[in-house]
Structure 1
Amino acid sequence: MSRKTHCPKRWPIAPVGRPHGTPLTLAQREVVRRCRALPQLTDPLEIELVVSHAVSDVPVDEEFWAGVIEHAVSLPTRRNEALLRALAALLTGRPREWAARAAPPLPPELVVGEAWICDRSIDAGYLALICSYSYGVREHAMVFLVDELAGGMVRKAFVTRDVAVALVRLSEQGPLEQVAPAAAHWLLSKSYDRLDRQADLAVDVEVWRTRLLAGRRIALAFG
């Protein structure tokens, strides 16, 4: 008598739907792509620079950031979480609040330090500012050149981790005067406002690459 082997009935596997995220514009998609290395970074200043560089040639506003943040929230990944934490730390205003609700920034916090000015407005037509900041015990500075002949607009800006060397080199341009951080950042706020109104004027590329960093520090200095 033969024995029949009964094979279990195979049911078709239903595909599991996965969220694909809120659609991005081409510009938003490119910015997200440029930030893909964020999960591997631990230095908060380096994280800031990556994000700021990513939007250096892209016009951004609240609507732009809203789309990026909605996409990152709707598609939970390690990369998107790192992006949200970076935006929560770096952005200002409502976009910062939106990102922070989804992924609060990690410590340490950014602290505003001292500020100095080298006034060459009378003989050379410019002001140079150096403002120091720190993440815990790790200090850095931003150096700004303000063109007085162009109405007080920022012409150059860059970040340095060697504050002492920056001070020495700036002192070679003229006498350094220590100023209140709030006063220095008020001057920078006005300078960047003028730049934003005349974005077609030629300025050093690092001005745009560090634009988000400057904006965050100006906002932080004013509390």
Structure 2
Amino acid sequence: MTMKGPKHTLCRRIGQCIWGLPNCPTNSRVIKSREGGESTSTPKAYPAGQHGPTKRRNKLSTYGELLLEKQKLRTFYNLSEHQLQFIYKKAKQGQGITGDKLLRLLEMRLVTVVYRGGLTSTIFAARQAVSHRHILVDGKIVDRASFVVKPGQVVSISSERSPMLSTIAKGIDAPLPAYLQKDKEECKVTVTHEPLPEEINSNVTISRVVEYYAR
């Protein structure tokens, strides 16, 4: 795993859920008691720690805002700093807008396609599925999260190696981005085309990430 420690620490710091997950502490949730009653939990949209609920959020400097967007991008795609820097340098090469190319490279990583395609419910589960050799690309096992999937390729779950993962994938109803097509019964996802910038939803201002690395 690339992420270490509590997964929602940054969510609480910025006051919103990075992945849009319903179990994020920044969201209110309905809690059922043993007696059958229900209550709504209070969203923890404040930093972790004993002074979190009462501590005022300090206004970020320009550098702080850029750093926060970079951290959000890292967290969303579950990347180490070294991995993100490597992908950014690759995005800088050649013609085209660096931010658009950076997002495209991130979206075409195998681990992202598995997550975005609804084969797993989280990016963390997607990385685990790939590293444990449960994911196929065009019928062949690929265990590298950074593997770049190309348009026309089919990503699927090895039902023989992981019938439980297949069962979970069939129950995931998350909306798909326009560049992916899912066959729910076969537990496979086809990349129909390279993602356009407007088709990628990462809740990150990518221009600020580029500005951070271009300092």
TM-score tier, shorter chain, comes to: under 0.3
What is the TM-score normalised by the length of structure 2? 0.25
What is the TM-score normalised by the length of structure 1? 0.25
Question: Which structure is higher in helix share?
Answer: 1
